[in-house]
């Protein structure tokens, strides 16, 4: 069964429900979405390589390696090292880093009382599909037997990610099932970029509203990520076209004003039709990966609280 929440917005204005959320959204609208004036990969990579340290007092960041794959654990005070979340960063499959997501991961660790593992999976175009997916599968397999302090079996694992990392979250679940490997207790996809055919209606209907991404950048992401001969409808590249049978429960969160909003809606519909328990949350007035902006607006705090609730309700007993 799919539960769809579109949180109430009494004004009906399409803006966020909280004054802080509305103010922040309008501030973002004053800028230019990425891709409006051309695709600059070097600029995007420089921004998303920034190290953003946790703002939660006492949070630990522990660097590690999965073979040759650089990773970093994030542990907020009171987190259970046996409850492990693999978090896959965003960046259009071509940019992004564990360092950029340390602060957000610390918020999740604190709320869900879990250890968060951030891998620096390989990026396109130097490493095209399915290199990043293979890294994510490998990282989850390693995480089931190794924790923040060394070798130790996990009590429960989850996989989460945003944007391209949200697409990789879904693809990793599908790949683990296909390879008959251990599945996590649940998957959490935040604003997933899950349709590389770019066929969702929101790519046009939200083009004037999305303050983060212009539709003009999307073809470049696809071109860099996929080889010319790879069909963009391939389910492990575009999970919107996948068969979700025997996939664990999903939580999908997306903002109202996102050009890729419909990727979330279509994944939820398909997974529900395939018998998966899905919770889809569409947050009014919110933008792409609104959870990641510091300081957290009320909607981000609430959404992270929902992530924690989902994880707590699906932990293996």
Rounded to 10 degrees, the C-alpha dihedral 192/195/198/204 comes to -40
CA angle 40, 41, 43 (to 5 degrees): 70
Check if 314 is active-site: no
Selecting among 288, 291, 292, 299, the annotated active-site residue is 288
Selecting among 17, 97, 105, 163, the annotated active-site residue is 163
Per-residue pLDDT tens over the stretch 199-228:
999 999 999 999 999 999 999 999 999 999
d(CA 11, CA 211): 20
Per-residue pLDDT tens over the stretch 218-255:
999 999 999 999 999 999 999 999 999 999 999 999 99
Cβ neighbours for 104, distance < 8 A, ≥ 6 positions apart: 52, 291, 292
Per-residue pLDDT tens over the stretch 10-54:
344 455 679 999 999 999 999 999 999 999 999 999 999 999 999
Task: Give pLDDT, residue 304.
Answer: 97
Q: What is the pTM of this model?
A: 0.95
Which of 222, 208, 308 has its CA nearest to residue 258?
208
CA 105 to chain centre: 11
Instruction: Name the DSSP letter for residue 34.
Output: B
Domain ranges of the chain: 2-313
Check if 13 is active-site: no
Selecting among 258, 264, 281, 299, the annotated active-site residue is 258
CATH (residue range 2-313): 3.40.50.1820
Strand order from edge to edge, sheet including 2-6: 2-6, 278-283, 250-255, 187-190, 156-162, 80-88, 114-119, 69-75, 60-66
Task: Give pLDDT, residue 16.
Answer: 60
Q: What are phi and psi of 116, to 5 degrees?
A: -115, 125
Check if 163 is active-site: yes
């Amino acid at each position: 069964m799919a539960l769809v929440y579109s949180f109430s917005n009494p004004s009906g204005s399409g803006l966020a429900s909280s004054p802080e959320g509305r103010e922040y959204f309008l501030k973002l609208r004053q800028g230019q979405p990425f891709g409006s004036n051309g695709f600059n990969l070097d600029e995007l990579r420089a921004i998303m390589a920034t190290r953003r340290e946790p703002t939660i007092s006492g949070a630990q960041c522990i660097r590690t390696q999965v073979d040759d794959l650089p990773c970093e654990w994030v542990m907020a005070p009171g987190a259970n090292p046996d409850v492990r979340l693999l978090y896959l960063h965003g960046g259009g499959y071509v940019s992004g880093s564990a360092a950029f997501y340390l602060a957000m991961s610390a918020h999740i660790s604190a709320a869900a009382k879990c250890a968060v593992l951030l891998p620096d999976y390989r990026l396109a175009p130097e490493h095209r599909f399915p290199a990043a997916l293979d890294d994510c599968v490998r990282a989850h397999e390693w995480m089931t037997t190794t924790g923040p302090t060394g070798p130790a079996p996990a009590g429960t694992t989850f996989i989460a990610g945003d944007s391209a990392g949200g697409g990789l979250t879904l693809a990793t679940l599908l790949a683990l099932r296909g390879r008959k490997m251990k599945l996590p207790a649940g998957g959490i996809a935040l604003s997933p970029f899950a349709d590389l055919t770019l066929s969702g209606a929101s790519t046009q209907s939200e083009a004037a509203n999305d303050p983060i991404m212009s539709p003009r950048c999307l073809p470049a992401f696809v071109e860099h990520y996929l080889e010319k001969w790879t069909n963009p409808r391939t389910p492990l590249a575009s999970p919107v076209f996948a068969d979700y049978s025997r996939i664990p429960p999903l939580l999908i969160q997306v903002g109202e004003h996102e050009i890729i909003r419909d990727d979330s809606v279509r994944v939820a519909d398909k997974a529900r039709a395939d018998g998966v328990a899905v919770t889809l949350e569409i947050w009014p007035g919110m933008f792409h990966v609104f959870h990641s902006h510091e300081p957290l607006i009320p909607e981000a705090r609430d959404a992270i609280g929902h992530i924690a609730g989902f994880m707590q309700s699906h932990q293996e007993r």
